[in-house]
Structure 1
């Protein structure tokens, strides 16, 4: 049955009847598909009538012209499932989504086009967007409410006013949606400031605002520009995300409920960002860069009403209580609790050193300069640079210019130090008379997802020099760590006295599958794979101390764990526990939650 959803004056109407949108964000690409129904049912049981999701371009077109809409990328199934459960759906497609997601959802291969201008009416950029829309939008069109589906509204671009003011670009995207049959309500969303509302909106297109506190102030600014449109907070930041090397953020449930109450009392609609955060699996975490580079952790728990692992929180209950005073909450039975299990310690008894097997896991590329990943066709992971340095040279300084993001440096196979993007100090080196082999392993820790520094090339981006002498003539080994690695493991223990990158492999038996949490106490930094699935990064600097392992990633019988450790562990043992550990908690200052109201970049000061 065709449904008509529209903005009429200061109201939203569904088939002519007034409706308040009470929505919560759940990103399908941050949740294993087996748990989509669980999360959506809990959303509905809390009193929400709508689910909102971004669409991550880099998930759906990981390589140019190669599209994926299966598994965790099956957006059609996610939307269909929401509709089957009686929920409306708001879709916020790419090209750009921010979302603390790698490159703001833009595919990394765009950076291979060095002359391309992002997020503007650049013909080359728009040609890539058009090709993507040609693949994506035919999948969404049958799911629109105008065609009997659950999608009631689609976003044109995301928080564009905080980035640019190219109204021709916004109109091109709008027209691209319309020409491909997206005939439902279209909208934009921006922070409630003059600059953002001027730069990010379009005449004749519904505008919405994003904030975390002080709704009266935010809506007042919005009304200066759109006095005759419904009030809609498209992103109500009821929690916050974490960066590595910072504390875990939380926000008081009573404060969240009070701000929600204020919004609903003003007759506004709302979308909780996030209702359920999920996980930045693999290499898909993003990063911020205001005064310095700040990579986001693997967990995207966000201190949301549902935890990363799907548990109901005090915030969930407080929100439901407020909603019950404003909307009729349909009685929805909660799904059965998802089991959690402690599998205990797992010894990783086999080891494969990276440098000993470099030629078997990567094909070298010869270049004059140490080129960044994008210039050798690589998107994510790690990259190794090797060269020979003549000697003797005493007391020289080794400079890695603009390393993105963290480099480990080895001389004749011996670790001499790390150079980090946020602490780019040179290393002091002595080269013997016979010369030395210089090897540099660089980790891409996630591309910037917000602000003016989106063009975030990875690897060594400007060159390597000893004092003022640039070093030329390099062998480059891409290490995207995709697919099955052809590693030759040896039965061996960890080498705590040896600082070198290595893969550690082990297995454990499971008589039943359940959610669990992998602790890596005694390990330093790296990436974990379970049954070939990239769980994401760990780092002893925290705050996160355990990685969430959804039960569907396990299987009855033998399960494989591979840890790529960058520095070396005290012992090659991990623990599969039944308890999460996101690190020490800290309250989130109100200035953090409302930061887009002045400048989203101020988050770095929180």
Structure 2
């Protein structure tokens, strides 16, 4: 690979003018056995570079644990990119946004009550330094200066939208340099935030999705010399639960890209291939109202969630071909899909019955947050004893994010942070009845000042005005369901209940799980956590990567938090349903 340099207003590669034509492709949102396929299709569209973030919270799930294996084998991903003759823009954060849980910052940071994220707080800085000291050394031989594909490395991410603490950016840049990063560094911000988020001596770039000339003019006004680049050229958008599926017409995206490339600027399409926020990894926004993001990160990208070229792929490929060489290879056809099928889930395991197999309770006077329980994702079950019978007003000071309330295992109601709900009335059947509050982390806020987003029950719980104490707090990360005791289903099942069934296939291929008639919960196939389902929509299907399947019998497990129809069936279909495109 060649070394990127900044000469005047241009990038050069080995002394020759070079334009970066890149596309976003997050390795952690794609099954590792599909990395090579997605990278090949990036090259076939005419891209010469791919961009990826790095999720700190997955690589360092606990302060004393660091992972760089399996689906987190970033060196392997970079090697595959190099094998396709693709360069790489690396965006290691530590904060990444990306509609990713907590913007990539690990939840254990929030166990420190007074921590100030994305700042010069010594506690935060010490954690960042330890992380980079583990992440960067294995990547150094993938830098372009050492023959690898990584052309440039980003400092933080859209910092100007969060703070104007230039000292913090300078500290991070120096940390990268001190650990051996000797390729060009860059920052990225939306045009209005460039002054707050850029750093002297580091290339500033801009993020926008339209009006390219105005965006680049703002960048040039801020940075009188240097290459012009849009690091996030938004050709689609993400979806939130309760919203609609956002799309951007291919012709409109192509026109905007044409306008940008006509200026001579470099670009990174955000996203080329969005992929999936599997499991519990989606983020959320909170601008006075909490809005969790769906699990599909299809993003209306040129390459859809299953890795198939879309009309937008063809349209953008044609535009790129006006300004740069595009491989003469034919556009790849869609990958095979499983035949459509219905699967009956024949066995059930109530969550309350299976609690000992799912997590151990911790006793406390007051409810503990997920962070205090050393928990990243999933649910917490809070249990307390009701002191008296009769009418009861239950007030929860702060629900993060969705609480199902039960008395003696009977559902009483739901309180949602999104709807600013904090109180519920019920009748306690007897003194000594068991109150259970099942709280779901629907995604830590990934953008803005709401990022200090602790989960669970925050603050006191009051019963008829008096604080209720004496709690059992049980983390339910749902990372291992093997200890559940399933039995044949009998009659209606009121959630939360796990449902399990099997289906046979001859040859693995991609498919989509659809759950008509189901309400809310999670889905696993062969132990692989696909993500959340919710009848609220817009997303009404979950993508199943072919590599998680196997010839012969396959097991599907659905956690239903509420209820479903008696037939307990799910459907495998060849196409997704990401919801209506208008509210």
Residue 565, structure 1, aligned to residue 564, structure 2: no
2:407 equivalent in structure 1: 411
Residue 265, structure 1, aligned to residue 262, structure 2: yes
1:153 equivalent in structure 2: 152
Q: Residues 349 and 493 of structure 1 are in contact (CA less than 8 Å); yes or no, is this contact kept in structure 2? A: no
User: Which of 529, 539, 543 matches 2:538?
Assistant: 543
Q: Residues 63 and 108 of structure 2 are in contact (CA less than 8 Å); yes or no, is this contact kept in structure 1? A: yes
CA distance in structure 2 between the partners assigned to 1:561 and 1:269 by the alignment: 45
CA distance in structure 2 between the partners assigned to 1:280 and 1:512 by the alignment: 25
Query: With structure 2 as the length reference, what TM-score do the two structures score?
Result: 0.97
Q: Residues 279 and 308 of structure 1 are in contact (CA less than 8 Å); yes or no, is this contact kept in structure 2? A: yes
CA distance in structure 2 between the partners assigned to 1:361 and 1:261 by the alignment: 53
DSSP 3-state at the match of 2:43: helix
Deviation of 1:386 (Å): 0.6
Which piece of structure 1 moves more, 22-31 or 507-516?
507-516
User: Which of 242, 248, 251 matches 1:251?
Assistant: 248
Q: Residues 504 and 554 of structure 2 are in contact (CA less than 8 Å); yes or no, is this contact kept in structure 1? A: yes
CA distance in structure 2 between the partners assigned to 1:190 and 1:245 by the alignment: 28
Q: Residues 493 and 572 of structure 1 are in contact (CA less than 8 Å); yes or no, is this contact kept in structure 2? A: no
CA distance in structure 2 between the partners assigned to 1:494 and 1:49 by the alignment: 57
Deviation of 1:335 (Å): 5.0
* Residue pairs, 1:364-443, within 5 angstroms: 364-394=361-391, 396-423=392-419, 424-432=421-429, 434-443=431-440
Q: Residues 390 and 431 of structure 1 are in contact (CA less than 8 Å); yes or no, is this contact kept in structure 2? A: no
DSSP 3-state at the match of 1:224: helix
Deviation of 1:479 (Å): 0.3
Deviation of 1:493 (Å): 3.9
Q: May I ask how many residue pairs the two structures share in their alignment?
A: 581
Query: With structure 1 as the length reference, what TM-score do the two structures score?
Result: 0.94
2:577 equivalent in structure 1: 581
Q: 1:335 to 1:69 in 2, by over 3 A?
A: farther
Write out per-residue CA displacement over residues 2-47 of structure 1, whole angstroms, 9 at most, x where no aligned residue.
x321121111111111111100000000000111111111111111
1:317 equivalent in structure 2: 314
1:526 equivalent in structure 2: 521
Residue 466, structure 1, aligned to residue 458, structure 2: no
* Residue pairs, 1:152-551, within 5 angstroms: 152-193=151-192, 196-332=193-329, 334-335=331-332, 337-394=334-391, 396-423=392-419, 424-432=421-429, 434-493=431-490, 495=492, 498=494, 500-551=495-546
CA distance in structure 1 between the partners assigned to 2:331 and 2:78 by the alignment: 20
* Residue pairs, 1:35-54, within 5 angstroms: 35-54=34-53
1:593 equivalent in structure 2: none
Deviation of 1:433 (Å): 5.0
Deviation of 1:586 (Å): 3.3
Q: Residues 361 and 485 of structure 1 are in contact (CA less than 8 Å); yes or no, is this contact kept in structure 2? A: no
1:597 equivalent in structure 2: none
1:16 equivalent in structure 2: 15
CA distance in structure 2 between the partners assigned to 1:276 and 1:321 by the alignment: 17
CA distance in structure 1 between the partners assigned to 2:568 and 2:62 by the alignment: 35
Deviation of 1:108 (Å): 1.1
DSSP 3-state at the match of 1:415: strand
Deviation of 1:326 (Å): 1.0
Q: Residues 358 and 481 of structure 2 are in contact (CA less than 8 Å); yes or no, is this contact kept in structure 1? A: no
DSSP 3-state at the match of 2:537: coil
1:595 equivalent in structure 2: none
Q: Residues 351 and 490 of structure 1 are in contact (CA less than 8 Å); yes or no, is this contact kept in structure 2? A: yes
DSSP 3-state at the match of 2:279: coil
Residue 108, structure 1, aligned to residue 110, structure 2: no
Write out per-residue CA displacement over residues 205-262 of structure 1, whole angstroms, 9 at most, x where no aligned residue.
1000000111121112111210111110000000010001111110111111111111
Write out per-residue CA displacement over residues 146-186 of structure 1, whole angstroms, 9 at most, x where no aligned residue.
00111100001100000011111111111111111100010
Residue 134, structure 1, aligned to residue 133, structure 2: yes
CA distance in structure 2 between the partners assigned to 1:547 and 1:353 by the alignment: 23
Q: Residues 502 and 553 of structure 2 are in contact (CA less than 8 Å); yes or no, is this contact kept in structure 1? A: yes
Q: Residues 494 and 568 of structure 1 are in contact (CA less than 8 Å); yes or no, is this contact kept in structure 2? A: no
- Any stretches of 5+ residues in structure 1 without a counterpart? 588-606
Deviation of 1:333 (Å): 5.1
CA distance in structure 1 between the partners assigned to 2:512 and 2:486 by the alignment: 25
1:117 equivalent in structure 2: 116
Q: Residues 494 and 569 of structure 1 are in contact (CA less than 8 Å); yes or no, is this contact kept in structure 2? A: no
- Any stretches of 5+ residues in structure 2 without a counterpart? none
Deviation of 1:494 (Å): 5.7
1:600 equivalent in structure 2: none
CA distance in structure 2 between the partners assigned to 1:269 and 1:374 by the alignment: 41
Give the superposed CA RMSD.
Answer: 1.4
